[in-house]
Amino acid sequence: MLVPLVTLVAAMLGFMLLTGNGQLVQGSGSKSVLYATALSCVVVYAMMLLSRRFAHQQLVDIGFKGISELLPLVTIVLLSLSLGSSLKLLGTGTFIAGIVDQNLPQVLIPALLFLAGALISFTTGTSWGTFAILIPIGMPMVSLLGLPPQLILAAILSGGVFGDHCSPISDSTAVSSVAAGCDLLEHVKTQLPYALVCGAIALLSFVIAGILMI
């Protein structure tokens, strides 16, 4: 397991330098991830094949099984990104900002964005998909209502991570339960009290931050 992981990390840095013409920060993250993942898959395939414990057909079946387990997550993220782009083109953020400006105290906006992010990520099981939906809605409020951008972005990111951590359909929750060797729902039940306490503290903090910064 360690060799493919080290290959993935080293290849990621190498391809970032390669695509950035020697400059790490100028590299293409998407291409580097794709190339590094493909290289790691080739390395682990070669290692398993050379161990003579697996035949080629078995490795192909294992690979496609892993892909099939991740396909629902990728589909959700893809649809969420598409929805976020559509909302941005339609000017949904500007429209909602206008409604909020007339009907909602601005000090509560960070807390409400946190709650919205938590609800979306909990029901969809993906924090990245939540970011794709809420950032095009929340960030236009920064310019239109004069809100602090760091606070709005923090509320969206925090809500997405919190809901994803609590969600029983999240990939991170599933991986954690498998790694711990326990039932999925049992894992959710045991971690939920701690997560809810942290979420309540974060919600209160966003209310206080809204009062102080807006």
Q: Where are the domains of the chain?
A: 1-54, 72-213
* The pLDDT of residue 193 is above 60: yes
Q: pLDDT tens digits for 136-165?
A: 888 888 887 788 899 999 999 999 899 888
Report residue 80's pLDDT band, with 50, 70 and 90 as the boundaries: low
Of all helices (H) and strands (E), which one includes residue 41? helix 29-50
- Report pLDDT for 161: 92
Q: How many Cα atoms occupy the beta-carbon half-sphere of 121 within 13 Å?
A: 29
User: Region 77-93: what's the mean pLDDT?
Assistant: 72
Q: Which residue has the tokens 């003579």?
A: 52
- Report pLDDT for 49: 92
The residue with greater pLDDT, 209 or 95, is 209
* The pLDDT of residue 87 is above 80: no
What does the DSSP 8-state code read for residue 108?
A: G
- Give CA–CA dist 26/23, Å, rounded: 5
pTM of the complete model: 0.65
